[in-house]
Structure 1
C-alpha cells in the first residue's frame, strides 16, 4: 500500500482510511520513513532481521534454511514475550515453519481465516492477547493485513465487502501511471481494498481496546511496499518504498505529532524494538541499522539524512539487482542489469494497468517511453523527489545535476562497500560494460542454480538456537 493512499498521508480522495487516520491522531507519524525494497518477502526479512538481503540470505522468495542470526520472533521470546503472528507467515521469517509461540491463521475450530475477512483480524488479535495472558507474558503480535495485496476487492459479489467502495470515476490517478478506463477500474478495486485494510485495522485496534491493554501497548503501523501496480511494487522508486510509519507508545510518544526531519527505515526496526523491549541483541555489531527510539521520545538524532535501498530478485527467482540512495531531495538508482536487452521480470506485468500500457504504447510515444523504461531501465537514474516524487523525469544527464550525481554515487558506493555488498565494485567502475557483464554473468548463474533447486525435493530447516 502506498503511503499516499491514506488520508493522513495526503490521499486526494476522501474516506480511504478513517480508522488509520484516527489512529494517527494518537500517534507519532513519520514523514520520511522508507522500507528498503518494494517486494514483501525480502522486505520483511530486512525489517525483522536488521540485516540487508545479501547478508540475511533472503534476497527474493527463496528461504534461508540455516540463518546465523536471530529475527524479531526469536528476540521477543528471549526478552520474555509471547510471540505470535497472523498473515504473511512464510514471508516474515527466513524459513517456515518457524518457532512462533502461535500462528493465528486459523480459528478455534481449526478452520482457516480468510485473509480478506476484516472481523477475523480482530479475533486473531484477541486470541493472541488471551494466550499471552494465560502464559503470564507480555505479547509481541505481528498482525499482517493482506489488503490491498492482490487479489483486490472484486465487486458487489465479493463476500468480503469493505465499509466503503470507490468507483472508477472518482479515484485519483498516481502521477507515475496514466489515465485510462481500465487503469481507473483497477485503481477503484485497489482503493476499495485499501478501505478494507482500514476495516481490518479497526478490528485489530478494537480487540486491543477491549482487552484493556491499549494503554500499556506499543503499536507500530506501516506498509511493506507501494501499491501492487507498475512503477510501485517490486521497484525502488519513491512511491515503492515510502511507508506510512506511525508509532504509539503510551506515555512516550506525543499524540498527533509529526517527525518531518529525520529519515528512518526498515533496517532500523529491530534495534528500535529491542530498546522498547529493553533487551540486547546477542551480536549487535552485525546490525546494519540503529535505533530511532530517541525520536519516539521527542529527541533528535544526527546522520538521519539518507537511506540505502536494495533489490535483487523477484518471486520467479529472476535476478535484476538494483541499488539506490534516497535523501529528502533526491533519489539515485543504479541498475547494473540494464543493457537494453534484458527485460525486467515482476508480478506487476500481470496487472490490467501493465497490459493497457503495452497496448497504448503501440500508438502513444509518451507511454511507449514509459514502457521502455519499465521493461529495460537505464544504467543510472536521478530524480528530484522533493518536488517531483512520481519520478517521471530522469535528471541523470542534466549538466546542472552532475555534482549531485557524483556525490550520491560516491556515497552509495561507500555505503555498499561498508556492508560488503558486491555491487559496490560494479558501481565504482560503472562506465565499464565488461565489469557489469561479468557481474551479471554470475547473477545469471545464480538464477539458473536457484531455479533448478526450486524443482528439487525440500530439505529440513536447521534448528534455531
Structure 2
C-alpha cells in the first residue's frame, strides 16, 4: 500500500509540475504580446530543409542554425506552394509579403503598387502595429521596397550577376572558383554580400538597442543561391571527394521536357537556367561539386547569422525577441537528375523553418503541414494586430503552444507554372501530376523520404489510392483558385 501511495503522490507532483510549466510558457507568451515583442526574420535563398546539422545532416556545419533549432521549434513539414514562373523565389516572396495564396498573388503581381498604396504589405502592417521596420538584402518582389519599410540598406535583386564560366560545370579547363572575386557575383563591391548584410544588421541592432520602440527586421540573404560563392576556407571545409552523392541521384530525369525544365514545346526559353549549371548526363562528380559549393555557402551564411544573433544579445532585447528563420524553397543538386527548385519533390519544395522566442519550447519539432508564408500572420498575431481578410495563410502560434494542434492544411498544394506540374500531399502520400506528359507519380513520403519508389507503377491498390488523392486535388484546386482542368488528361483517375 505504501508503494501505491508513493506512486500516486509522485504522479500528482509530475502533473502539477507540467501544469505549472505550461502556465509559465503561456504567461511568458502573453507577457511578450503585451510588451510588443521584437521580430527578427532571417530569410535565405534556395536552402533545402535537409541542410541543418542539428536536424540530421551529419555532413554540413551549421553551428548557429543548430543554436536556433536547439532553442526553438522546428517545423518539419514546411512547404512553398509553387510558382507561376521559373523564378520560384519571386512567387514565394510575393506570397510571403502580401499574404496572398499562390494564384491570387500571381494575379495581383501587376498591381502590387496599388496594394502598397493601401498599406497591405507585411512590413506596412507591422508598421501600423507600432513597429520600426527594417530591411537589408534580397527583395525580388515587383514593387518599390523603399516605400514599404522605415529603413533599408543594400537592397539586392533576384541574384548576383553571373558569368558564362559558372555554367555547365564541372567541365574541362574549369576556371571558375567560388572565392575568385574577379567573377563578381556575390563579391561585387569587394565584400561578400552575406557579410555586408550581417554588417547592416549589426548597425541597425546597435541603434535599436537604444530605442523603446519594437522592431521588425527583414534580413534576406541571397545565399546559397547560385553563383554559389564563398571564401576559400569555407569551401575547404568540404573536400569534394568526400561529399556523398544524394541517394536519389539520377543521371537524367525522364520527364525533364514535360515538366518545363528542358526544351518544353512552345516554350522559347529552352533549357531552364538552373539546369544549365551542369551538363547531361548528370555525373557523381557534378553532384559532389555542386554540393560542395552549396554547403560552403550555407556554412558561410551560418557564420553571418551568428554575427546577427550575437548583435541581438548585445542589445539586451534578446529575451523579448522572436527569431524566425526560413528560406523561400529548397533545391536539387543532382537529386532526381535535377539542379533547381522547379519540381514537386520534397528537397525542392521544403525549406527549413525554425522559431525561437519568449515562451517558445526548446529543441522541439512540429510535424503538422504548414506553409512558410504562415510566418506573416504569425508575426501579426505576436504584434497584437488583426490578420486582414485577404491573407490566405494562418498563424503558427497555436502549434508552438500545443504540438497536438490540428493542421490548417489537411492537404498540401503545389504547382509549377500554368500547366507543367501539380502536386498534392495528404498524410504520408504525395501525388505528382505532369499534365503535358499525361503522367502521375505516387510516393509514400514516410517510408520513402527520398521519393525513389514510384507506387504508380504498381497499379492495383495504388491506382485506387492515386484516384482518391486526385479527387482531393480537384477540390483543393478550387480552394486555391487553380484554373487548370485536368479531368480529360487524367480521366483514368476519375
Q: Secondary structure at the match of 1:263?
A: strand
Would you identify which runs of 4 or more consecutive aligned residues in structure 1 move more than 6 Å?
111-115
Q: Which residue of 2 aligns with 1:263?
A: 369
Structure with greater contact order relative to length (CA < 8 Å, sep ≥ 6): 2
Distance in 1 (CA, whole Å) between partners of 2:343 and 2:111 is 21
Q: Secondary structure at the match of 1:30?
A: strand
Match of 2:483 among 422, 425, 442: 422
Deviations 1:442-461 (A, max 9, x none): xxxxxxxxxxxxxxxxxxxx
Is it true that 1:40 corresponds to 2:144 in the alignment? no
Q: Secondary structure at the match of 1:4?
A: coil
Q: CA deviation at 1:170?
A: 1.6
Q: CA deviation at 1:64?
A: 4.0
Deviations 1:150-198 (A, max 9, x none): 1113674xxxx53862111121222232452232122211111111121
Is it true that 1:151 corresponds to 2:151 in the alignment? no
Q: Which residue of 1 aligns with 2:272?
A: none
Work out whether residues 81 and 92 of structure 2, in 8 Å CA contact, stay in contact via their aligned partners in 1. yes
Aligned ranges 1:383-402 → 2 under 5 Å: 383-397=443-457, 398-402=459-463
Match of 1:246 among 344, 354, 357: 354
Distance in 1 (CA, whole Å) between partners of 2:288 and 2:434 is 30
Q: Secondary structure at the match of 1:87?
A: strand
Equivalent pairs counted in the alignment come to 373
Q: CA deviation at 1:428?
A: 3.9
Q: CA deviation at 1:136?
A: 4.4
Q: Which moved more, 1:408-417 or 1:262-271?
A: 262-271
Work out whether residues 398 and 405 of structure 2, in 8 Å CA contact, stay in contact via their aligned partners in 1. yes
The alpha-carbon distance between structure 1 residues 116 and 413, as it changes in their structure 2 partners (threshold 3 A), is farther
The alpha-carbon distance between structure 1 residues 327 and 86, as it changes in their structure 2 partners (threshold 3 A), is farther
Work out whether residues 69 and 363 of structure 2, in 8 Å CA contact, stay in contact via their aligned partners in 1. yes
Aligned ranges 1:174-189 → 2 under 5 Å: 174-178=246-250, 180-189=284-293
Is it true that 1:301 corresponds to 2:301 in the alignment? no
Q: Which residue of 1 aligns with 2:379?
A: 273
Work out whether residues 79 and 372 of structure 2, in 8 Å CA contact, stay in contact via their aligned partners in 1. yes
Q: CA deviation at 1:139?
A: 0.8
Q: Which moved more, 1:240-249 or 1:168-177?
A: 168-177
State TM-score, norm by structure 2.
Answer: 0.68
Gaps of 5+ in 1: 314-318, 340-377, 434-465
RMSD (Å), alpha carbons: 3.0
Q: Secondary structure at the match of 1:169?
A: helix
Distance in 2 (CA, whole Å) between partners of 1:300 and 1:94 is 39
Gaps of 5+ in 2: 1-46, 156-186, 251-282
- Higher Rg: 2
Is it true that 1:167 corresponds to 2:239 in the alignment? yes
The alpha-carbon distance between structure 1 residues 71 and 174, as it changes in their structure 2 partners (threshold 3 A), is farther
Q: Which residue of 2 aligns with 1:431?
A: 490
The alpha-carbon distance between structure 1 residues 46 and 176, as it changes in their structure 2 partners (threshold 3 A), is farther
Q: Secondary structure at the match of 2:414?
A: strand
Match of 2:298 among 187, 190, 194: 194
Q: Secondary structure at the match of 1:5?
A: coil
The alpha-carbon distance between structure 1 residues 174 and 304, as it changes in their structure 2 partners (threshold 3 A), is farther
The alpha-carbon distance between structure 1 residues 112 and 206, as it changes in their structure 2 partners (threshold 3 A), is farther
Aligned ranges 1:86-125 → 2 under 5 Å: 86-91=136-141, 94=143, 96-105=145-154, 116-125=192-201
Distance in 2 (CA, whole Å) between partners of 1:181 and 1:163 is 16
